[in-house]
Amino acid sequence: MSTEESVDPELIEQTKQQIRSLVREIAQIAKTDIAPQEFYDAVLNRVVTALAAVGGAIWTVNEAGQLALEYQINLRETRLAESEENQIKHGRLLRKVIDSGEGTLIGPQSGSGNEEDGANPTDYLLVMGPLKTARETAGVMEIFQRPGRNVTVQRGYLRFLLQMCELASEYLKSRKLQHFTDRQALWAQLEQFTRLVHQGLNPRETAYTIANEGRRLIECDRVSVATCQGRKTKIVAISGQDTFDKRSNTVTLLTHLAKAVVATGETVWYTGDTSNMAPQVEEAVQSYVDEVHSKAVAIVPLKEPHDENDPLARPKVVGALIIEQIEDSRPREGLPQRIEIVSNHSALALTNVQEHNDLFLMPVWRTIGKSRWLVEARQLPWTATACIALLAVLLFLFLWPANFELSADGKLRPTVRQHVFAALDGDDVSEVFVEHGQMVKKGDPLLQMENSTLERQIAEAQGNLAEAIDQRRGIKAQLEKKGGLESSEEFQLIGRERGLEKQIISTRSQLQLLQKQRERLLVTSPIDGEVITWKPREMLINRPVKTGQLLLTVVKPDGEWELELHMSEDDMGYVAEAQAEFGPELPVDYVLLMRPGVTHSGTVREVHHTAEVRGEEGNTVLVEVAIDKNDLKVRQDGAVVKAQVYCGRSSIGYAWFHDLISFVQEKWFQFF
């Protein structure tokens, strides 16, 4: 029995046009250089649409020879995931297509009968076509089609799928050819990187080679190199920058990040999520990324090669490699492999550089190795002349006698000087009676302070005193009358009177003390002299003061003057030896910076017994020097002086370089 179905010719033609359009689109996509996942997505969706199928899948063979699902549409409808046995049967079926390299049609719930050939455990017609490269089958394109069509239609499905597989195979061939080309270029870059990074033993040059050549090989935006010396980690090279400010905020944060990762010894990858990082690493990463706004950062600790004689030993970390993507957080294809190659060679290169430069007296041996030309016949006369000149200089330094003098900075001061301090707290300074340079007598008022708390206490004491006096007067009046008072009342009044007497005495004493404190709010000059505080009114008026705060300074300019020298603690040993040999009053020559052309003389009067830290000068000892004030035409308190303290005679070399000799002796004691 046969039936005839009437089909609209226009609909058939429209369907054919749609299929041809899809085929042209697939052909055009196959000629592009899009990523494999995007290609599989575009092709499979169009094939499934053209065949009006339920779904499909694309399987490829990976480098390990295993089947990998690259893309799928409605694979869940086949229910293959529900049964491991069905997955095995289906996998064998895919293997058969790959091994044979031919397309096939497999009906629902059917197979060849040979268990090794696999079977179709699904309820759909499987249309399979091989994806081939030049010499091998690289994968399978599989379509899940509804069953029930006649054989002719099914064969049409297969022919169409095989045509699409040919187009997809052209893409895979081009992709593989491009892969071979890229690999060849990569090997050329790797060869260049390896040759450059291992050709020298200069630490700075090696680090810059790693940064710049490593960035080209990895194809990232920036590569930085950090080195480790003991517990110290520092950034030594940044790609694209010959020099950089090591104190900048960016480099400081990058140093902290490298140090935190080096401490863990594990590679850190940042692409926006820090939840799986150690707290110290997370904080360092966030601080750095907030500063530079990099989208992806990889920090790879560089470790020296494993010791074959001690496989359990923990390898030493010699540095770190910091790789950054500034605009795009998506990792490029092959990025981890390239980073691994660069980090391995960088670790070996830095290890060799550090071992080479850690050799004893390496700078000396390197200099000697580069100086062989000095003894060549052509250069020998010049070399001999230079050696003779050097010997003459050394003999001069060791044998020529000179004064051994120690330099010190200081200031010119009047011998009689008094600092005026606040005797108690003041709310503010209400009046300043003197100006800079004004002459004053001992006891002259200098300034007036106000203290509201003290005034309130005085007022309270006066009120309490007046109240107690009034009460005592009333009690006396009652006692004088005596009329109508019982003996008990009289005794009680007498007791109250005596208590008030004591209260009055105590309150008067308290009031006297408070009034004395009020008198101290008026600050007076402790000596006859000159006020040398600059602009005291602007400095003090209407400002609060605390007990012990320096207010003014008064000096006696017509008295004796002295020098206050701040001698470095390192030089005090020489001073003590000279005083033991020549006496305590060592000669001193000095100049005022206001008149540096005139040299004056003085003698050491006193050396303080303790050293103090004074600003940038460090630990210094105060040395007082007696001078003749008549030698100075201009005397100004605080004038800066440069002085030299005579400490005997020595060779001129020791006089010039005693600081260097002391430094070498200190380091020798420290290390040996």
pLDDT above 70 as % of the chain: 89
Mean pLDDT, range 516-537, rounded to an integer = 89
At 84 the pLDDT is 86
Query: Among 82-96, 134-148, 163-177, 289-303, where is mean pLDDT lowest?
Result: 163-177
Q: Which residues contact 429 (CB under 8 A, 6 or more apart)?
A: 447, 448, 449, 450, 540, 541, 542, 543, 545
Task: Return the minimum-mean-pLDDT range out of 181-195, 357-371, 539-553, 625-639.
Answer: 357-371
What pLDDT, on the 0 to 100 scale, is given for residue 3? 40
Antiparallel, parallel or unpaired: β 119-120 and 428-432: unpaired
- Mean of the pLDDT values across residues 384-398? 88
Is-contact 421 548, C-beta < 8 A? yes
Which of 8-22, 124-138, 260-274, 284-298 is least confident?
Answer: 8-22
Percent of the chain with pLDDT over 90: 25
pLDDT over 70 at 529, yes or no: yes
Between strands 232-238 and 222-229, the pairing is antiparallel
Q: Of 112 and 383, which is predicted with more confidence? A: 383
Q: Is the pLDDT of residue 226 over 90?
A: yes
Alpha carbons within 13 A on the beta-carbon side of 488: 0
Higher pLDDT, 478 or 268: 268
Q: What does the pLDDT look like over 90-114, one tens digit per residue? A: 888 888 888 888 888 888 888 655 6
Q: Is the pLDDT of residue 189 over 80?
A: no
Q: How confident is the model at residue 2 (pLDDT cuts 50, 70, 90)?
A: very low
Q: Which two tokens stand for residue 641?
A: 């002086």
Distance CA 220, CA 618 (A): 48
At residue 594, the 3 state secondary structure works out as coil
**How does the average pLDDT of the chain come out, rounded?**
84
Q: State the average pLDDT over residues 274-292.
A: 90
**Tens-digit pLDDT profile for residues 292-318:** 989 999 999 999 887 666 666 678 899
Supply the pLDDT for residue 6: 47
Q: Region 219-230: what's the mean pLDDT?
A: 90
- pLDDT at residue 627 above 70? yes
Query: Which of 267, 231, 255, 269 lies closest to 344, judged by CA?
Result: 267
Predicted TM-score (pTM) of this structure: 0.43
Smallest Cα–Cα separation from 446: which of 461, 460, 425, 430? 430
**What mean pLDDT do residues 245-271 have?**
92
Whether 486 shows a pLDDT value over 80: the answer reads no
